[in-house]
Amino acid sequence: MPTKIDDATLVTILAQIKFDEQGLVPAIAQDHEKGDVVMMAWMNAEAIRETLQSGRVCYWSRSRKNLWKKGETSGQHQDLVNFLIDCDGDTILVKVRQHGVACHTGRRSCFYRSVDAKGTIKEIMGVTVSPETLYSGS
Amino acid sequence: MPTKIDDATLVTILAQIKFDEQGLVPAIAQDHEKGDVVMMAWMNAEAIRETLQSGRVCYWSRSRKNLWKKGETSGQHQDLVNFLIDCDGDTILVKVRQHGVACHTGRRSCFYRSVDAKGTIKEIMGVTVSPETLYSGS
């Protein structure tokens, strides 16, 4: 999604979003072609600006407390295809072109554990790329 | 998803979930057939118990501060098809059979506002059922 969104327009968009008391909003990432939900993370206003203006998805890392340009270290970045805001403005859905895997475990999606009808938690997705490779820095 | 999950098994499942300081976890609902993300809401331990044991999706309403058996008032309920936990246990993805519409505005999905490349927010989905009909109590 090539964007031409200037800072003034961004202010209008941000006014539609309800951030929580930490200044964050949950952002769901869904593969735009395959349709699978690959992850959920958090954005602050700066992450939304970076996402919309660069066309690459950027989150806010709550653990590291910094902007998290997805894929900057691992190479597994997400191109923005569509940016959606929900009815009450407190959740974002980004449709993305996922390069490689979304999960830090090396799986395509973070949602790889499923509860079956008996309550057993089963892994339904294998590791595509080893985490060592993902974060080798090469 | 017909479940036979007793309370002891439930404790094991809940141990895999990281609730926030309010005892809540975000839960994304995705239509299991069409693949569209229809809403995001919050669950507490009791909502998860109700969801898994009844097979119908139940959230925690942060505004009303009570259990929210989705569709109890509107009839637009969600049958549970699959219950997924993400890698770090702090987000749930429920795959559902959505009866009618998910959004209180009468749209199929809560994510009906899209930011285009110029930054204009556009409604990309029409109202299927009028909110007056949804909440008429009939």
CA distance B83 to chain A (A): 6
Q: Do B4 and A103 touch (CB under 8 A)?
A: no
Per-residue tokens: A81: 């295809």
pLDDT of residue B126: 96
Level-2 CATH architecture, domain A7-104: Roll (3.10)
All residues of chain B having their beta carbon less than 8 Å from the beta carbon of residue A62 are none
For B4, what's the count of Cα atoms within 13 Å in the CB-facing half-sphere?
A: 1
A103 among annotated binding-site residues: yes
State residue B1's pLDDT score: 74
AA letter at A68:
W
Per-residue pLDDT of chain B (138 residues; tens, 9 = 90+): 767 899 999 999 999 999 999 999 999 999 999 999 999 999 999 999 999 999 999 999 999 999 999 999 888 999 999 999 999 999 999 999 999 999 999 999 999 999 999 999 999 999 999 999 888 864
Question: How many CA atoms within 13 Å lie on the side-chain side of A63?
Answer: 3
pLDDT of residue B3: 76
Confidence (pLDDT) at A2? 66
SS3 of B61, please?
strand
Question: What pLDDT does B137 receive?
Answer: 60
HSE on the CB side for B73, CA within 13 Å? 12
pLDDT digits (tens, 9 = 90+) for A110-138: 999 999 999 999 999 999 999 998 888 64
Q: State whether B115 and A83 contact (CB < 8 Å).
A: yes
d(CA A60, CA A78): 14
3-state secondary structure B69-116: ECCCCCCCCEEEEEEEECCCCCCEEEEEEECCCCCCCCCCCCCCEEEC
Q: Do B85 and A4 touch (CB under 8 A)?
A: no
First to last CA, chain B: 28
pLDDT for A137: 61
CATH 3.10.20.810 for domain B7-134: yes
Considering only CB atoms, which chain B residues are within 8 Å of A103?
A: 87
How far apart, in whole angstroms, are the C-alpha atoms of residue A73 and residue A106?
Answer: 13
Gap between the Cα atoms of A78 and A33, Å rounded: 13
From residue B69, alpha-carbon distances to A18, A131, B51 in Å are 24, 39, 9
End-to-end CA, chain A? 28
* A36 burial level (CB within 10 Å; 0-12, 13-18, 19+): middle
**In chain A, which among 63-92 make CB contacts under 8 A with chain B?**
82-88, 91
Stretches in chain A below the pLDDT threshold 50:
138
Q: How far apart are CA B80 and CA A52, in angstroms?
A: 34
Question: B16 to chain A: which residues are within 8 Å by CB?
Answer: 113, 121
